[in-house]
Amino acid sequence: ALALIVSESDVFLTADVTERTHELASKLQFDSAGTPIGFDSSQDNRIWSYKSLGQEIGYRVLDSAANVRLTSTEDKFWPSNIGIARSESGAFNFEREGLLMYAATSSVEHDGRTWYLQFAASKRLMELLHVGFAWPFMGAGIVLFSLVLLFVFGGCAYVTLGYTLKPLREISE
């Protein structure tokens, strides 16, 4: 496992793409004429990512008068009632097209002026990152670390107990 990770092999990436392709193929839907029309989204909650990943995350920078000076998204991404007033609270939520968005504001001082950076990510993107990436890799890391500890400490305990109990074994014989 260590050799595969260190070698930067694309074995895992290729396997993941192949597996995802097979999953999508099984969810493909067709119309009455036999033409593909999309995917069955009731069985897979990640179909949304193919159309809207660019709308799931965004940032903007506001000046002290709540004027947007820099943004990564369209204007309709951010509700009009969210301005600098949210800067004092740090984290906040809002709803965009029926989708819960987690957001936060941070102030930045530069050349005597205060700027406010707001960042937002959708609930489903955060769940995808946690459930699809973070938890599986953390679980694999914990299992691998546990196995290494088991073999290392098991071997050390065996050798240590062998040397420790050798005089007792000799006395008992």
Query: Is residue 71 scored above 70 in pLDDT?
Result: yes
- CA–CA gap between residue 106 and residue 84 (Å, rounded): 10
- CA–CA gap between residue 31 and residue 19 (Å, rounded): 25
105-161 tens-digit pLDDT = 888 888 888 888 888 888 888 888 887 777 888 888 899 999 999 999 999 999 999
Query: Is residue 16 scored above 60 in pLDDT?
Result: yes
What's the full length of the chain, in residues? 173
Under DSSP, the state recorded for 18 is H
Note if the pTM is more than 0.85.
Answer: no
Query: Is residue 63 scored above 70 in pLDDT?
Result: yes
> Within 13 Å of residue 4, how many CA atoms lie on the same side as its CB?
5
What torsion do the CA atoms of 150, 156, 157, 162 make, to the nearest 10 degrees?
150
Residue whose tokens read 């699809």:
132
19-62 tens-digit pLDDT = 777 777 777 777 888 777 777 777 666 676 666 777 888 888 88
Please report, for residues 47, 50, 70, 148, 172, the alpha-carbon distance to residue 20 in angstroms, rounded to integers and kept in the order given: 11, 13, 36, 31, 63
Q: Could you give phi then psi for residue 121, rounded to 5 degrees?
A: -140, 145
Instruction: Return the pLDDT at 12.
Output: 59
Q: Which residue has the higher pLDDT, 80 or 54?
A: 80
- CA–CA gap between residue 15 and residue 12 (Å, rounded): 5
Task: Characterize 139-157 residue by residue with b for buried, 16 or more Cβ atoms within 10 angstroms of its Cβ, and e for exposed.
Answer: eeeeeeeeeeeeeeeeeee
- CA–CA gap between residue 130 and residue 127 (Å, rounded): 5
